[in-house]
Structure 1
């Protein structure tokens, strides 16, 4: 049976190898060099022993199982009966398969890897998965062990141990190492997934590990099937096969060690951030929300901005003012009054036509057209009809000009409130945070958490993932206070910090979030709780938890950098998807949209309300707030997550 594990120098058929080389000879050499560098450098992370990942445990468990089975067969050769030997091997494999090898290798799961080598390898992996599926069905049909036919078992053995140009399990094992390790497809997967978060909804590190886990699962299926076949051939008296088994096990463990060396290095280099791309279609209330009437364009005559009803000054004089009256019921009587403060007034032209917005709109004007031809906003059909507004001369000495100001007005049409209450997962049920999103409830913006039950080795029980309901309070409730339960944005306090709040300690994961107010800034805090990676249990979270934030401001510490919006149009008017433009320790102000593009009627950035989650869900090592946009637009503020760092748990196998 030695022929079943024969190989060429590279483990790939010469035809396929030559095809790859002829397509990309220089690229092939460069990638091999990268692979040698990455696999030769192994940091001493094993100096601190961490529990291993799920698939390493499963692989180790099977190696121990098949060693024990071979020892059993060797001991029972002379005095054991065939039926008990068959039952032992059959039942052991059947039980292992039921517990660990039920998932399938899904075709197209890694389509972003648009490489010729991957397409060939994926085809082979699917073929192994198909053969193993037949084997699994065979095991299930014969669980009662009453009518197990020797010919049927030998047919499975022949298929598993086939070694020709059409199919060879051992050749596929070599191809896996050639493509994924020597040609560094794991490294290329990291690079490509960083640009494809919109499609993968995984951090690059998570994508690389998911790819590895699926390949490792399929390889283990093939390995287990070959070991089962040799054991059954041994029982049926077709040979000894101990040497073949030991040699295959040795090769398998050496390939695994080389693979894990590269995998660990790639995962250490991989980003763990996940954010949500713009949707194909913007839907208010589903994909985004707006802060409304925080700073909004407002037409006011200077005569109404002072108690003396004079026009001695000009518009620029009124840097900060308020509407004091309505002189002779002019245009001021035909529009809703700004009951707050007026800022940054300016003179544009004397006379204009104003198109008022519908009464139920949070806008005041659809557009404004000045007599000099300047248009604020997008002119078009006006459903309520335009109103002609003219400045006038008083006593032939003073010009009573209509000014364009910014109105900061709290009211029923102004949604500008952010929740300050703690948002914590149900730690008493061993649940942790797995995702974030903004929601608006009762006019208050909340950070809502997705939570799931933590399980061993960093996995999450996907069956009970849910969005935890937000606090259902109203800002007018008797026991609800501004500054304690919620924060109110205003002209003086309208900044939000853009931070990545995370921990480097891999024994802690996120179990809560909240906003606080630092000076005039909204600032994100995250709650971290200790957990046991191996058992998947939180460790006394009521005691072993802490809150963490970035305490820098724009005037102290490592000073924050302000993100400035350049003539921002309404966020959803962009035809090119927004991209992140902020980094940790930045901040941004909520401001009015551009005067010319939108008559300053909107508050930007908008709030991205799409759920930021990873698929599949995993624990989080951090959370953040970021800004994304395209130049000339207001963009969106949204949450992002940082997936748990699994790299330290990639441990090299120990050979017993």
Structure 2
């Protein structure tokens, strides 16, 4: 038992179903086509596309393609030149996408859609004043909007310790455009057993980001181009086996989104949880370990230029290691025209059968070759070996 792995995670379902097995951060970074003249303060074309790293749309010169597509109302980042002449199929207004596909003059298509539901826009660069070439750039649009779901709840969720209930499982849930960590709780019995008749999912808070008295940085965290990192790690109270998980929340420290896990003492023999007050709980905050532990080095897991997570025919496997992080990014230009935010969020239940108290929780990344993958929670079961 001491050698057995106590980490539990969910495999891919037989079929990925939106809002059933996975959900998405939407329109955090999205491919966007704009002419450099509309990115320039003086309506010039004297620069090149890569010179526009962090800017906004300034105008709409001569009512060209810019007047035929929705404007990027946020910041524009990381522009690049693709081709002088492009054919662009715009998406329906009800879609999270801007474009179904983009095709260059050589016939190469960016995005997998074969048919266009509307007329294709022919987007051609042009010359101005003989010596200026006004090129169209492919950029990334960071636009907070009613269809950009980029929010994570910072509120703590706690099991009913007064009723001797502890956390037995977790899952991610998106409610009102905000991602929450939802816990399953059950009554703790003597010798680490759980009363299965008491198992229940604790409802997440029902609020919207624009409600009165709801504050960014207190109630929720909003991602952006600059702030889109999530820690991939696990936390466990290694030095004292009498502590088990009774609460969890998302927490942000120095622009890293991670987990803050709360632990309570218990008596293994009689099954009683000690300490009904929240201040009696101990916690481990992985995000703050970057600050207080000089030896804690984080490594970025790069997921650039990948395809839609649901397009893969292979099952995902855990790829992340502890002390890593990743940035939410856009899908690759060639695979998906950069239209989708990856990774997706796995919203399946992560529980054990039979249910057991938990010694820890974590977040990891799973994927298959070429896929944008999923961020998902994992649970670490209580260690019974010391009591056998």
Q: What range is the shorter-chain TM-score in?
A: over 0.9
Provide the secondary structure at the position in 2 that maps to 1:625.
strand
| Gaps in structure 1 of 5+ consecutive residues | 1-266, 651-656
1:308 to 14, 18, 42: 42
Cα 1:553/1:374, change in 2 over 3 Å: farther
The alpha-carbon deviation at position 640 of structure 1 amounts to: 0.2
| More helix by percentage | 1
| TM-score normalised by length of structure 2 | 0.97
Q: Deviations over 1:27-63 (max 9, x none)?
A: xxxxxxxxxxxxxxxxxxxxxxxxxxxxxxxxxxxxx
Q: Deviations over 1:123-144 (max 9, x none)?
A: xxxxxxxxxxxxxxxxxxxxxx
The alpha-carbon deviation at position 386 of structure 1 amounts to: 1.3
Equivalent residue, structure 1, for 2:290: 553
1:562 to 277, 300, 310: 300
Inter-partner Cα distance in structure 2 for 1:426 and 1:295: 39
Larger Rg: 1
| More strand by percentage | 2
Q: Deviations over 1:142-195 (max 9, x none)?
A: xxxxxxxxxxxxxxxxxxxxxxxxxxxxxxxxxxxxxxxxxxxxxxxxxxxxxx
2:255 to 495, 514, 520: 520
2:313 to 555, 560, 575: 575
The alpha-carbon deviation at position 566 of structure 1 amounts to: 4.8
Equivalent residue, structure 2, for 1:606: 344
Inter-partner Cα distance in structure 2 for 1:553 and 1:540: 29
Provide the secondary structure at the position in 2 that maps to 1:583.
coil
Equivalent residue, structure 1, for 2:385: 647
Matching of residue 363 in structure 1 with residue 93 in structure 2: no
Matching of residue 291 in structure 1 with residue 37 in structure 2: no
Q: Deviations over 1:276-296 (max 9, x none)?
A: 001100011010011111110
| Gaps in structure 2 of 5+ consecutive residues | none
Inter-partner Cα distance in structure 1 for 2:41 and 2:299: 40
Q: Which has the higher contact order (CA 8 A, sep 6+)?
A: 2
Provide the secondary structure at the position in 2 that maps to 1:269.
coil
Inter-partner Cα distance in structure 1 for 2:147 and 2:125: 29
Inter-partner Cα distance in structure 1 for 2:346 and 2:307: 16
Please tell me whether the aligned partners of residues 279 and 287 of structure 1 are also in contact (alpha carbons under 8 angstroms): yes
Please tell me whether the aligned partners of residues 625 and 638 of structure 1 are also in contact (alpha carbons under 8 angstroms): yes
The alpha-carbon deviation at position 518 of structure 1 amounts to: 1.0
The alpha-carbon deviation at position 549 of structure 1 amounts to: 2.1
Inter-partner Cα distance in structure 2 for 1:493 and 1:483: 12
Inter-partner Cα distance in structure 2 for 1:535 and 1:501: 26
Equivalent residue, structure 1, for 2:226: 492
Equivalent residue, structure 2, for 1:618: 356
Listed as ranges, the matches of 1:270-349 within 5 Å are: 270-349=4-83
Equivalent residue, structure 1, for 2:128: 394
Provide the secondary structure at the position in 2 that maps to 1:553.
helix
Equivalent residue, structure 2, for 1:539: 274
The alpha-carbon deviation at position 593 of structure 1 amounts to: 0.5
The alpha-carbon deviation at position 556 of structure 1 amounts to: 5.1
Give the stretch that moved more between structures: 555-564 or 309-318. Answer: 555-564
Please tell me whether the aligned partners of residues 30 and 339 of structure 2 are also in contact (alpha carbons under 8 angstroms): yes
The alpha-carbon deviation at position 483 of structure 1 amounts to: 0.7
State the 4+ residue runs in structure 1 displaced beyond 4 angstroms.
none
Provide the secondary structure at the position in 2 that maps to 1:564.
coil
The alpha-carbon deviation at position 523 of structure 1 amounts to: 1.6
Inter-partner Cα distance in structure 1 for 2:72 and 2:90: 15
Q: CA RMSD in A?
A: 1.3
Please tell me whether the aligned partners of residues 510 and 621 of structure 1 are also in contact (alpha carbons under 8 angstroms): yes
| TM-score normalised by length of structure 1 | 0.58
The alpha-carbon deviation at position 567 of structure 1 amounts to: 2.4
Q: Deviations over 1:253-282 (max 9, x none)?
A: xxxxxxxxxxxxxx0000100000011000
Equivalent residue, structure 2, for 1:589: 327
Inter-partner Cα distance in structure 2 for 1:582 and 1:305: 38
Listed as ranges, the matches of 1:85-484 within 5 Å are: 267-484=1-218
Alignment: residue pair count: 384
Inter-partner Cα distance in structure 2 for 1:562 and 1:631: 18
